[in-house]
Every structure is written in structure tokens, then in C-alpha cells.
Structure 1
């Protein structure tokens, strides 16, 4: 616990190297960027590591999905106890869990069957294992941790009301596209206009850098899509076309994850200490 807090302190206030220019500066900044990214993925990394190492048969008499649920709760409680996450941040993470779990229940229902969880579990509710919500919570945990470690600031963020409406439309479309058509690309077009001028300022080492916030959404969505491919390969859940043999998750899911990241980002913005670093033009 103390070692992680010490690591955070070193990442937030690194020892400065004098006369750092050119490729040397690039290497140092890239090293610290990677270290902060890895630290931000603490919950994600530990959770997905458990997915890889927990055998399909489970541990002792406990089914695999139940073991993963216990591990996810343990990691989350440990992060709060060790003050790597605050109670307010935990509330936001649990909201991500609920939002994700509701979506899972709908997507795996008998009428929809977008994907399925084939294994038995005592902690299944409406055919969805409770650990699944933590996969969505992991996205929120990453954003919260990265915000602190990179000292993120958001400039030209759209008015909150527009961001909230867009997020609601994104979430609703995940349900309604099964009945009324998929409007994700119309929503995506609206997102492009809404966040076109928005930039995220981050500090990998000692200087602030910036990038378009839209690019950040796309990149995070891509890495989640990669994680989804790994998870389906290990049989944690399966799409209909993966029942008999594994195949790569359709690239269209990348766009879905990027949109989900936007929704998660919007929820995160409303945390008190984060809202202070978001600047909306008048």
C-alpha cells in the first residue's frame, strides 16, 4: 500500500533531469507516460489478469464467474482502503457498474441474445453474472485514476446539458437500435460537432501536452475492443458467431466502445474535484 502511494508521489512529482532535449526528452516523457498509463490501469490490469489465470472450472467448488466477482469486489475495496480511490470515486464506479449491468441484462435477454455467458454461476442475476458490471466500472476507474496522475484539464468542453443529453442518447441507442434502427453514426456526427474544439491537456513528465479529446475517446475505445477480443478468446462471454469457434470481434464494436467511453467520461466529469479542471467557454 505504502509502496503504491510512494510510486504515485514519484509519478506526480518526478525528479527533474536538467538539460533534457530532443530524443532524450522524448524517451523520458514516453517512459513516464507509459508508467502513468500502467498505474491508471491498476483495477483494469488486476481484474483482467484474474480473467486469464482463473481456470474455466473455477477454484475449488466456486465457479469461475463467482471467483471473478469476489476478486473484483476485493480489488475495489482494497483500492478504497489504501486510499488509491476515494468514496466519492467509488460511488461513480458503482454507477458505471449499474449502468453496465442493466445493459448486459438487456443484451443477453432471450429476445435479443447479442452475446451470452455460457458458464454456471451462483451470482448470476437474470442470466448475467454480477462480475460483468465491473468490466464497465473498470473504464470509469481508469479515467478517474488517469485524471489525477496526468493532472488532466479539459478546455472548450461543451455545456454540461449538451454532454448529458448526448450521453443519454448514446445509452438509449444501445437498447432501441434492436427495434427502431441504429442511429449511432448520427449520434457520432453530433459528437464530432460537440467536441470538435475540445482538447485534453495532460502532463506525462514536467511539461503539459495536449491532444484532441475525440482522439482520446477513439484510442480508449480501441484498447477496450482489444481487451474484448482477449476476453472472448478465453470464453468469458461469447457472441453468436463465436459459439462453435472463436473469431475476432467485429470492428463495429470499436465504435460502440468509443461511444460508451464518452458516456463514462461525462459521468466522471461530475465528480467535484474533476469538475474544477473542466473549462467551458462562455
Structure 2
């Protein structure tokens, strides 16, 4: 059986490997880099699952989760796992996510609620909730750097920006003028139909359709949402008396949120690149 340590000991360069063994090596490297990109996501949601509903050390659960999220973010920043520019982008994700949470939990909407007490609640929404959206941005930013992401056949940036604005606006307007997510999704499908994401797990470039990446990330977020509601972090109206699985339609909502987050990251990178172009 071929083993990685055999190649390391024998001095044979890993670039010469092929076949199934190359698949195994690249899969391991891909998994490690993905795990590294999920540092904030993993630690934050580990805290979500481990902190009991009653809180700890006399601190309410929502307040403790907010402190933990801030601590993780600062540790990543000062530990050089994240740059200041990346931190600024994540703050923007937090603000956009928190604004959406305030609207969705308002008295006239009540799409979901945060039933537990806490001093760090603003407009009835715990401040840690914005970090759930920031976690998406953190993952995209980290994965971009660690996997050396490049986008082929990217659509015009102004068109992508319009789609992202439409996605975000629809989360608000669907309560008043109808839900147009599928129309927006159709526009997104046409816009990114030719777009591929190129990434490097180890030493060779690999690629996949960007739309497939959006769908897969949205699915894993939907799974995390099921776990979060099971632990009572927040509740949908149909989960107030007994827990039930989050509706499968939320998968589409999270996929659209991933698209919006991706567009935001690409727009920031595009603007920064243009600023640094020599005149």
C-alpha cells in the first residue's frame, strides 16, 4: 500500500505522485485548509453548542456568546490568522447581518425570536447574532487566501452588485410585496453560468462551477441552523413548543446569502485592486 511517509522518507517529490494516491494527498490538504478557513466558524459554533442555556459563571448565554465571539476574533487578528483589512470586511458582514436580524425579529414580522434574556441584546436581538453572518464572510475570506482562489469568467461587477442588492433587499421586501427569490436565483444562474472557481489544494489547480460551491456552502449552513435551533439558540414559530427540522426552503435562503457574501468579498477585492493600480 502506498503511504505518504514512504514518499517523504525516500525523497521522491510529491509532485511526481499520481492516481489514487494523489487524490488522497490533495483531499487531505484540501480538508486541512478548509478546516483552517473554518477556524472562526468552528470555534464560534462550538461555543454555541457547549454553552448551556442557563449560561455560565453567572453570565447569560447570549452575553457569554458575544464575549466569546469577540475573543475569537481578536485572537485571530493578533495571532496573524487574519489581517486588519479582513477584519474590517467581517465587521461589515456583522452590521448587515445584525440589521437583518433586527428586522426579522421585529414585532410586525416575527420570523424567529431570541427568547432568552441577556444584557447584550439591542432591539431584542443579541449582538452575537451578527457574528453568524460574519462567520460566512470569514470563511470566504480565509478560503480565498488559503486555497489561492481565482475566478474565471467573472460577470461584470456592476451586474453582480445589483444581484447582491436584490438578494439583500428581498429578505426585507418579501413580507410586503412577495418573495422573488426564485426570480433572483434565475438571474444569478444566468449571470454565473460560465463562472468557475479555481483553487489549489496542494500543488495543482482544480476547479468547480461557482454555482455548485454556492449550493454546497448553503447546504452546510442549513445543517448548522438545524443544530442551532435544536439547541434553542433561536427558534422559528413552529419550533416554540417542540423542535422540528428547519424547512428545506431555508437552504435556498442561505445559498442566496452565500452569494451575497461572495459578491461583497469580490467587490471589496476589486475596489482594492483598482486603488493600487499605478496611475
Give TM-score, length-normalised by structure 1: 0.90
**1:125-204 counterparts in 2 under 5 A?**
125-204=122-201
Deviations 1:34-85 (CA, angstroms, capped at 9, x unpaired): 1111110000000000011111111121100000000000111111111111
Deviations 1:179-212 (CA, angstroms, capped at 9, x unpaired): 1110000000000000001110000111100011
Deviation at 1:154, TM superposition (A): 0.4
Pick aligned residue for 2:85 from 82, 85, 88: 88
**1:57-96 counterparts in 2 under 5 A?**
57-96=54-93
CA RMSD of aligned residues (A): 1.4
**Structure 2: unaligned runs, 5 residues or longer:** 1-11, 274-279
Does 2:251 correspond to 1:254? yes
SS in 2 for 1:201: strand
Deviation at 1:273, TM superposition (A): 8.2
Deviation at 1:164, TM superposition (A): 0.6
1:269–1:275 CA contact under 8 A, matched in 2: no
Q: Distance in 1 between matches of 2:15 and 2:30?
A: 19
Deviation at 1:19, TM superposition (A): 3.2
Distance change (3 Å), C-alpha of 1:16 and 1:216: farther
1:16–1:206 CA contact under 8 A, matched in 2: no
Pick aligned residue for 2:108 from 103, 108, 111: 111
Q: Which entry has the higher C-alpha Rg, 1 or 2? A: 2
Equivalent residue pairs, number: 262
Q: Distance in 2 between matches of 1:212 and 1:71?
A: 35
**Structure 1: unaligned runs, 5 residues or longer:** 1-14, 277-282
Does 2:240 correspond to 1:243? yes
Q: Distance in 2 between matches of 1:196 and 1:188?
A: 11
SS in 1 for 2:202: coil
SS in 2 for 1:271: helix
Query: Which residue of the partner structure matches residue 217 of structure 1?
Result: 214
